[in-house]
Amino acid sequence: MRHQARIRDTALAYFIEQKRELCSLLIFIKRKEMDKYSNISIREPKLSKSVQISSDSKPEILASVIAKWQALLDTTAKIINVPSGLIMRLNEKTIQVFMKSQTEGNPYEVGEEAELIYGLYCETVIGTQKQLLVPDATKSPIWCKNNPDIDLNMISYLGFPINWPDGEVFGTVCLLDNKENHYSDDFSNLLQQIKQHIETDLQVLSVNETLKANNKELEDLNTIKSRFLSLISHDIRGELGTLNELLKLILSDFESFEKPEINEMLELISQNASSSYLALEGLLSWSKNDFLHLRPDRSEFDLVPMIEDILNYFRQSIKIKNLQIVKSYDTDKLLMVADKNMMLVALRNIISNSIKYTKNEGDIFIRIVKDGEIYSIEIEDSGLGMDKSSLERLFRYDKTHRKEGTLGESSAGIGLMIAKEFLDKNKAILKVDSELGKGTNFEIML
C-alpha cells in the first residue's frame, strides 16, 4: 500500500508541476496578448518612439498608496516652492494628470489629458528614461514653440520617469514653475527619491498581485487533486474491488457452479471491467485535457466506422439489456474533418450514457444526417431522462451526477463533462433535450 501511495503521490506531483508550468506559460501568453504600446515624440533628440505602457494585467493603485503619493507630492512642491507638482500617467493615445499637488496656483486638474502630438516634457522623459531639466522654456529653441505648458505659464520643468518593475511605463513625476527655475541638486535629488518611493510602491503592488494569482492557482490545483483522488477512490477502486470479489467467489468454489451461473457472473465481470476501463479512460482524458490543455489535431475520417466500433465496444452491455439499436445514416460513408480521438471519446461517452440509463429492452436511435458542410449526429434513447435541474448541471462536474444506471452501473460523473469539452474544442454545437421518464436526445452539429 505504501508503494502504491508513493506512486500515486509522485504522479500527482508530476501533474501538478506540469500544471504550474503551463499556467505560468498561459499567464505569460495572456499578458503578451494584453500588451499596450504608446507612440511618443522626443524633442531632444528629435525622434519618435514606441514604448510599452501599463497593461490590463497591472494591479489597481490602492487608496492608501494614492494618499501616500499625495502627501509626498504636496510636501515636495511646498519645500521647493513651486505651484505645480504632478504625477502623470501615460495612456495609448494621451498622457493624463494622475495626481496633482494641492498647492496654490496649480493650473492642472486630475484626469486632464493631452494628446501625444506636441512632444511634451514628459514624453521626452519617458523616451530617454532620464531626468529632464528645462530652466525656462521661453528661452529654449527646443521648447519655446508648440508647447501647451507655456500657454499655462508653466515655463520651467524638472521630471523623472516612473516605471513598473517589469519595465512597462507608468508615467512621470515632475515639478513645474511659472518662473525661471534651475532647480538645485538638492531639489533634483529630492524629486528622484520621490520617484524611487513611487516605483517601490508599484513593485509591492505587483508582488501582492502575483501572490494573489499564485494562491488562486494553488487553490485550483488542490481542487484538481481532490477531484482526481475522489474519482480514483470512489469509482475505479470500487469497480476493481467488485471484480476482485467476484473472481474470488468463482475461484473459491468453481466446481459447484452451473454453467449458466458462471456465464452470468462472467457477463457481470465483463460489464464491470468495461465500466472501469471507460471510467479510467475518461479520467485520463479529463486529466490530459485539464493539465495539458489539449488542442484538436484535425484530420479527415469516416464517421460511420467510428460509430460502429463504439457500438461493438458496448456489445456486451447492449446484449445484457437486450437493447434495440436503430441506426439511420445518410450514406455508408460520411467523411468529416475533426480531431478523431476527441470525437471518439465524446461519442463513446454519450452513447455509454444512453446505454447506462436505458432500461432492459429499450430503444436507442442513432441518426447521422449530412446537409452540405454540416453534420448532425443524434443519439436518442428511451431511458430514464432528466428533470430541468439535472439538465442544467449536466456538463459541470458534480457528485450528484453519479447516478447509477438501470442495472446498477456506476458513474464517474465526468463522462459528459469531457464530451462537452472535447466537442467545444472541435467547434461542435451540442444540444440536449430530455424529459424525466421519457428519455434523452443528444444532437451534435459540426
Higher per-residue pLDDT: 228 or 415:
415
- Confidence class for position 403, pLDDT limits 50, 70, 90: low
Q: In this structure, are 26 and 55 located in the same domain?
A: no
CATH code of 301's domain:
3.30.565.10
Q: 56 pLDDT exceeds 70?
A: yes
Q: In this structure, are 305 and 411 located in the same domain?
A: yes
- Confidence class for position 238, pLDDT limits 50, 70, 90: low
Q: 358 pLDDT exceeds 70?
A: yes
Last residue of a domain, one of 116, 149, 183: 183
Q: Report the range of poorest mean pLDDT among 70-74, 346-350, 388-392.
A: 388-392
Q: In this structure, are 302 and 348 located in the same domain?
A: yes
Question: Considering its fold, how many domains does the chain have in total?
Answer: 3
pLDDT number for residue 148: 94
b/e sequence 108-137, b meaning 16+ C-beta within 10 Å: beeeeebebeebbbbbbbbbeeebbebbbb
Mean pLDDT value across the chain: 82
Q: In this structure, are 24 and 121 located in the same domain?
A: no
Q: In this structure, are 143 and 174 located in the same domain?
A: yes
Q: In this structure, are 119 and 143 located in the same domain?
A: yes
- Confidence class for position 232, pLDDT limits 50, 70, 90: low
Residue 97 lies in a domain: yes
Residue 262 lies in a domain: no
- Confidence class for position 34, pLDDT limits 50, 70, 90: low
Q: In this structure, are 304 and 369 located in the same domain?
A: yes
Q: In this structure, are 17 and 155 located in the same domain?
A: no
Q: 113 pLDDT exceeds 70?
A: yes
Q: In this structure, are 6 and 56 located in the same domain?
A: no
The percentage of residues in the chain with a pLDDT greater than 70, rounded to a whole number, is 77
pLDDT in tens, 250-302: 777 777 878 887 777 777 777 667 666 666 665 565 555 554 456 788 899 99
Q: In this structure, are 59 and 131 located in the same domain?
A: yes
Pairing of strands 324-329, 363-371: parallel
**Mean pLDDT computed over 432-438:** 88
**Mean pLDDT computed over 154-163:** 97
**Mean pLDDT computed over 15-38:** 55
Residue 229 lies in a domain: no
**Mean pLDDT computed over 162-184:** 96
Last residue of a domain, one of 132, 163, 183: 183
Pairing of strands 335-339, 298-302: antiparallel
Higher per-residue pLDDT: 188 or 212:
188
Last residue of a domain, one of 183, 202, 228: 183
CATH code of 61's domain:
3.30.450.40
**Mean pLDDT computed over 159-171:** 96
Residue 210 lies in a domain: no
Residue 235 lies in a domain: no
pLDDT number for residue 282: 58
Residue 316 lies in a domain: yes
Look up the domain containing 110 and give its range: 35-183
Nearest Cα neighbor of 355 from 387, 395, 321, 386 is 321
Per residue, the 3-state secondary structure of the chain, as one string, reads CHHHHHHHHHHHHHHHHHHHHHHHHHHHHHHHHCCEEEEEEECCCCEEEEEEECCCCCCCCCHHHHHHHHHHHHHHHHHHCCCEEEEEEECCCEEEEEEECCCCCCCCCCCCEEECCCCCHHHHHHHHCCCEEECCHHHCCCCCCCCHHHHCCCCEEEEEEEECCCCCEEEEEEEEECCCCCCCHHHHHHHHHHHHHHHHHHHHHHHHHHHHHHHHHHHHHHHHHHHHHHHHHHHHHHHHHHHHHHHHHHHHCHHHCCHHHHHHHHHHHHHHHHHHHHHHHHHHHHHHHHHHCCCCCEEEEEHHHHHHHHHHHCHHHHHHHCCEEEEEECCCCCEEEEEHHHHHHHHHHHHHHHHHCCCCCCEEEEEEEEECCEEEEEEEECCCCCCHHHHHCCCCCCHHHCCCCCCCCCCCCCHHHHHHHHHHHCCCEEEEEEECCCEEEEEEEC
Q: In this structure, are 169 and 307 located in the same domain?
A: no
Residue 265 lies in a domain: no
Q: 79 pLDDT exceeds 90?
A: yes
Report the predicted TM-score, pTM, of the whole model to 2 decimal places.
0.51
Residue 443 lies in a domain: yes
Q: In this structure, are 75 and 149 located in the same domain?
A: yes
User: Residue 83: CB partners within 8 Å, gap ≥ 6?
Assistant: 77, 103, 104, 105, 106, 107, 176, 177, 178
Q: Report the range of poorest mean pLDDT among 29-38, 126-135, 201-210, 227-236.
A: 227-236
